[in-house]
Amino acid sequence: MVELADAGALGFDAGRLSRIAPFLAEAYVDNGRLPNAQLLIARDGQPVHYTRLGKMGDDGRELRDDALFRIASMTKPVTSVAFMQLVEQCKVALEEPVTKVFPEFANLHVYAGGGGSIPFAPGAPAHPMRFVDLLTHMSGFTYGLQNRNNIDAVYREHNFDFARDNLDSDGFVDKLAQLPLEFAPGQGWNYSVSTDVLGIAVERISGMRLGDYFEQHIFAPLGMTDTRFGVREGDLERLVDAYAYRPGQSPRMISAGATSKLAKPASFDSGGGGLVGTIADYHRFATMLLNGGELDGARILSPKTVRLMRTNHLPNNADLTEMSSSLFSEANNAGTGFGLGFAMVIDPAKTLIPSSLGEFYWGGAYSTAFFVDPVERITMVFMTQVYPSSTYPIRRQLKTLIYSALTETYV
């Protein structure tokens, strides 16, 4: 059970916070739209609200406080932090071409037609991709799950989105290097496997497997004892079942925690989406970011590096409505920019929900989410397990409920 601080002393109306759990129960959990919901809200790192609702899965066990969730793309901020640690050590620079680490990418071309039963047309050579293009999803790569064009289709054939069991890091890069880019690096924004490539860069620069790097340089220092690629065999009983949305019906269970392949060794650590962890662990990660890269004496990044990461890097301070070609991402586009591993609010009015300028966030494909508000010093972590994350407007609703309970503001 999470120990809560006095909400009133931290600028929240306790009565208004108490509306959150009944809302989640009535709107989502009791009617079966979500199998479970776990929510942790904090200010200055001190928890002011905790909700735990629902079941571990089809076996009917109550959701555990220490339940393990597939956090999917909430892995991306962790990978971005790892890469920026190497930047701080001058082992790599944001503006350097990725060919410094990936000679396989020396001859990338931009899509000019073809695909499917027709070979890809020889497109124009792409100008050099930089590491910053990977961090900002402006690389020209894509995701098979975008399901929009012939490039996406080939990504699905190679199973890039779910490479854990069928590719190793070098094989991932080799296959990716043979495919055209959707656009020239830096010329657009598309949610993509860029962060998987970034994770492989961490491996090649550090000489460590990505999971080992995370454990030594992020998880152990932060006390994130339950987050890793895969699940320890003895911990499978803590892994929730995963579900997929079905219109007009209850979500369908697609992966049972008790028999999950996540207990078996993987050939690939997906920096874009492979971690499993607890709400308590991710709360510690979010608090570190809120604190400018430090938690309980463990310095993960410098404050200036975190500030660089949470600053909009889209050209001319554009938002995603101007730059994005994605049909699927973990961000709403209006009023939203993108930095080095996170989306952030650059125009609160355009988002049409309460928010702070500079608030940054991300989520995962199974509807998990987090945000960090450096103005109001608020963090939120939400866990559940229904794919895809676009199924329900729950992130918007949670933000509305949280900010409606705020009584003392710093602006």
**How many whole angstroms separate alpha carbon 224 and alpha carbon 203?**
20
Q: Which residues pair with 52 in a beta bridge?
A: 38
> Looking at residue 287, what is its pLDDT?
98
Q: Name the residue among 52, 14, 60 with its Cα closest to residue 36.
A: 52
> Looking at residue 119, what is its pLDDT?
81
Token pair belonging to 75: 């892995």
The answer to whether 319 touches 350, Cβ cutoff 8 Å, is yes
Q: Name the residue among 10, 44, 73, 85 with its Cα closest to residue 290.
A: 44
**How many whole angstroms separate alpha carbon 398 and alpha carbon 112?**
42
Token pair belonging to 226: 């339950």
Task: Summarize pLDDT for 4-13 with one digit per residue, the tens.
Answer: 999 999 999 9
* Tens-digit pLDDT string for the chain (411 aa): 789 999 999 999 999 999 999 999 999 999 999 999 999 999 999 999 999 999 999 999 999 999 999 999 999 999 999 999 999 999 999 999 999 999 999 999 998 888 776 788 888 899 999 999 999 999 999 998 887 888 888 899 888 888 888 899 999 999 999 999 999 999 999 999 999 999 999 999 999 999 999 999 999 999 999 999 999 989 999 999 999 999 988 999 999 999 999 999 999 999 999 999 999 999 999 999 999 999 999 999 999 999 999 999 999 999 999 999 887 788 888 999 999 999 999 999 999 999 999 999 999 999 999 999 999 999 999 999 999 999 999 999 999 999 999 999 998
Residue burial 381-411, b: 16+ Cβ < 10 Å; e: rest: bbbbbbbebebbebbebbbebbbebbeeeee
DSSP-based three-state secondary structure for 68: strand
Task: Summarize pLDDT for 196-206 with one digit per residue, the tens.
Answer: 999 999 999 99
> Looking at residue 267, what is its pLDDT?
96
> Looking at residue 111, what is its pLDDT?
86
**How many whole angstroms separate alpha carbon 208 and alpha carbon 212?**
6
Q: Is the pTM of this model over 0.85?
A: yes
> Looking at residue 375, what is its pLDDT?
98
Q: At what angle do helices 75-88 and 194-206 cross, to 10 degrees?
A: 40
DSSP-based three-state secondary structure for 249: strand
**How many whole angstroms separate alpha carbon 365 and alpha carbon 73?**
6
> Looking at residue 411, what is its pLDDT?
85
